[in-house]
Chain A
Amino acid sequence: MKHCLVVDESRVIRKVVCHLLAEMKFYAEEAEESASALTACRAQMPDVVLVNLGNPGGIELVRALRRTKSEKQPVIIGTMTEHDVDHISEALSAGANEYVLKPFDRDTLKEKFVETGLM
């Protein structure tokens, strides 16, 4: 079972996304902010991290994860509410593999997972 960490300030969003992930047969964990997310990743690196780039420290979390030495590098997917080319470019150069616009449904998430080789 693949392991996904969902990082988002909003409890509602974390719940909704974790539910989608469970339906997609992923083991889902959640973190409210970047520091605890980083600690969790250092303890056990997930296969994929979904990071809300709008969170304070969202982009920094992406950079920190890419600097973290670990056996495997996770797929990092940034979630964002504003579709903006500068944000997307910034996320990509920080090390994100993909982005997804919020709110997203299962099909969209699935597509991004297929795109990044998770499914």
Chain B
Amino acid sequence: MNAAEFAYLADLLKRRAGFHLAPTKTQLAKSRLAPVARRYGFRKTDELFAELRDAPEDLARAVTDAMMINESSFFRDKSCFDHFRGVVLPSLLSARATSRRLRIWCAAASTGQEPYSLAMILDEAKIAKDWRIDLIASDISGFAISRAIEGRYSQYEVQRGLPAQTLVRYFAQDGDQWRISERIRRMVSFRTFNLLDSYGWLGEVDVIYCRNAFLYFEPLAKRACLKAFSQVLADDGYLALGASETLEGASTAFAPDDASVRGVYRKIRRTARPIALAS
């Protein structure tokens, strides 16, 4: 892969996913794209790079998908989920007691551990049957979403972050894999969605989880997404980012919910300008 080809790949990822590909990542790109090259009938990965400029939509999407970092785990950054269970959920259940409707969106759901962690918390909360709860999970990566829908995890994936009781309660063993129970799986609706696209399908949500995706974003893309988040999030809603992510320089619409919990924010309420009454 020559410099121009690398630059083209970096530009493609930036345009399509807001992804920042550091110049040091040539080896990573090669190893990630080798299976894609094979799948599309290239004899060598280098041939894929050489022809990327003329890639049809389908191939460009596969390349973007393969470059995403899908690393996730159940109850990752435990304190964020403890806060959801102990603060976010009770506060929204009381704020929405009349509409009895709650909408939660995992915006970079990867292989499903994050939405399923939330689903298990919701299940344990024993919320009355007459509530309508939408748990929407999306990710740009079709591969990750299809794994999420399958809901099968290796023993190493379930050992990370899942308390033994929870594992036994919500998973069934299937050979050397573990499968999330059908009840939990059906609480989540999955789709592929690129955060840089239009949010028209979504509607207003009460909670946004978008954790550990902005880490790899171009600053402008991050800013645009956060602006869109502030528009789809209810005024009293919550935003959860990864524990090491900040809003600095990217958004002024949110403030930390609790100084002791990293990554959880609420919208800053703009006080309405008083309307001058005509006398």
| A associates with B | yes
Q: Which residues of A contact B (CB under 8 A)?
A: 83-85, 88-89, 91-92, 96-101, 108, 111, 114-115
**Residues of A close to B164: CB separation below 8 A:** 88, 91-92, 96-99
Q: Count residues on chain B whose CB falls below 8 Å from chain A CBs.
A: 15
Chain B residue nearest to A84 in the complex (CB): B173
In the bound complex, CA of A96 to CA of B168 (Å)? 13
B163 interface hit (Cβ, 8 Å):
yes
**Residues of B close to A111: CB separation below 8 A:** 160-161
Known: A92-B164, A92-B168. A108 touches B159 (CB 8 A): yes
**Residues of B close to A96: CB separation below 8 A:** 164
B175 to chain A, nearest CB (A): 11
Residue interface mask B50-78, A partner, CB < 8 A = 1: 00000000000000000000000000001
Whether B159 contacts A101 by the Cβ 8 Å rule is yes
A86 to chain B, nearest CB (A): 9
In the bound complex, CA of A115 to CA of B164 (Å)? 10
In the bound complex, CA of A100 to CA of B163 (Å)? 10
In the bound complex, CA of A115 to CA of B167 (Å)? 13
**Residues of B close to A100: CB separation below 8 A:** 159
Whether B155 contacts A83 by the Cβ 8 Å rule is yes
A–B Cβ pairs within 8 angstroms, 11 of them: A83-B176, A84-B173, A85-B168, A85-B172, A88-B167, A89-B168, A92-B165, A98-B164, A99-B164, A101-B155, A101-B159
Determine which of A85, A92, A114, A115 lies in contact with B173 in the assembled complex, contact meaning CB atoms within 8 Å. A85
Q: Which residues of B contact A (CB under 8 A)?
A: 78, 155-156, 159-161, 163-165, 167-168, 171-173, 176
In the bound complex, CA of A117 to CA of B279 (Å)? 64
- In the complex, the 10 A-B pairs of residues with the closest C-beta atoms, listed nearest first: A83-B155, A85-B173, A98-B164, A99-B164, A101-B159, A89-B168, A115-B163, A88-B168, A88-B164, A92-B164
**Residues of B close to A91: CB separation below 8 A:** 164
B156 to chain A, nearest CB (A): 8
In the bound complex, CA of A49 to CA of B167 (Å)? 21
Chain B residue nearest to A100 in the complex (CB): B159
**Residues of A close to B78: CB separation below 8 A:** 114-115
In the bound complex, CA of A115 to CA of B75 (Å)? 11
In the bound complex, CA of A55 to CA of B159 (Å)? 21
B178 to chain A, nearest CB (A): 8
Beyond A85-B172, A96-B164, A101-B155: 10 further Cβ-contacts under 8 Å?
A83-B155, A85-B171, A89-B168, A92-B164, A97-B164, A98-B164, A100-B159, A108-B159, A108-B160, A114-B78
